[in-house]
Amino acid sequence: MKARLPLIIASIFLVISISVFFYVRASDNFDKSQSNSNKIQSEVVNEVGNVQEKLAEIQELDIVYGVNEAPIKIIEYASYGCSHCASFYNNVYPNLLSKYVDNKKVQLILRDFPLDEPSLRASQLVHCMPGAEKKNMIKALFESQKNWAYSKSFPEKLENLAKISGMSGGVFHECIKNSALEEKILKSRVQAYDAFKINSTPSLIINGQKYIGDFSWNGLAAYLENILK
């Protein structure tokens, strides 16, 4: 028994040594895994931040109201067939434009986020209009939304709006079939979701932050006044 004692002690030390070795190694691997995970999370956060910063700049298809020097920049993601967007445009825009945009306190940027095919085609129609006619078409689309947005014959109704605005039927059909323009509009929607998790309309980004307040005129005005103070 005494002869076997040193062998037993040696075996115990060996087992302990092996356990310690694998514990340290496992801990080291865990630390490295955590470090890699933190690095990946940091890269994702930085990537999102870069996209948000890029989207704060004027994009190719943006419809812009107001001057670049305005202290408040509002980006509205809108769908022309969205009833809430029409309500916001018809009830809030007039005061927003006269009290803040015209006074150079706010720059308002309207950006596409179509929720369905009629809205997508309406966005294409807006961008095919020349110059200032784009804003006139936006006004016509929202004011007559109930007439075209929920109709199976929305292409014909949009074409009628186009003709009233002076666009020929040939140009209208060419516009609606423009796959490059369609792709740009849909890309804008994807970017909005990636950067700000936009999934409904209207959605507002005010000075880089997603607005989650009251969309009534009084609620929005109070928020803007707080920023200006």
* Helix (H/G/I), strand (E/B), else coil: 79: coil
Backbone phi, then psi, for 74, in 5-degree steps?
-110, 125
Q: Whole-angstrom Cα distance, residue 99 to residue 105?
A: 8
Q: Whole-angstrom Cα distance, residue 138 to residue 43?
A: 39
Dihedral sign from CA coordinates of 165, 167, 169, 173? negative
Banded model confidence at residue 53, pLDDT cuts 50, 70, 90 = confident
Give residue limits of the domains in the chain: 1-55, 63-228
pLDDT, residue 54, reads 79
The overall average pLDDT reported for the chain is 85
Dihedral sign from CA coordinates of 60, 64, 69, 75? negative
Among the listed residues 86, 87, 163, the one whose alpha carbon sits nearest the alpha carbon of residue 128: 163
Residue 94 CB neighbour total at 10 angstroms: 11
Contact 115, 201 (CB under 8 A): yes
Residue 164 CB neighbour total at 10 angstroms: 11
Better pLDDT: 163 or 18:
163
* Helix (H/G/I), strand (E/B), else coil: 64: strand
Region 108-115: what's the mean pLDDT? 98
Banded model confidence at residue 16, pLDDT cuts 50, 70, 90 = very low
Question: Is the CATH code 3.40.50.170 the one for domain 63-228?
Answer: no
pLDDT, residue 40, reads 39
pLDDT one-digit tens code per residue, 144-157: 999 999 999 999 99
Q: Whole-angstrom Cα distance, residue 77 to residue 189?
A: 8
* Helix (H/G/I), strand (E/B), else coil: 56: coil
pLDDT, residue 8, reads 46
For residue 209, the one-letter residue type is: Q
Q: Whole-angstrom Cα distance, residue 34 to residue 36?
A: 5
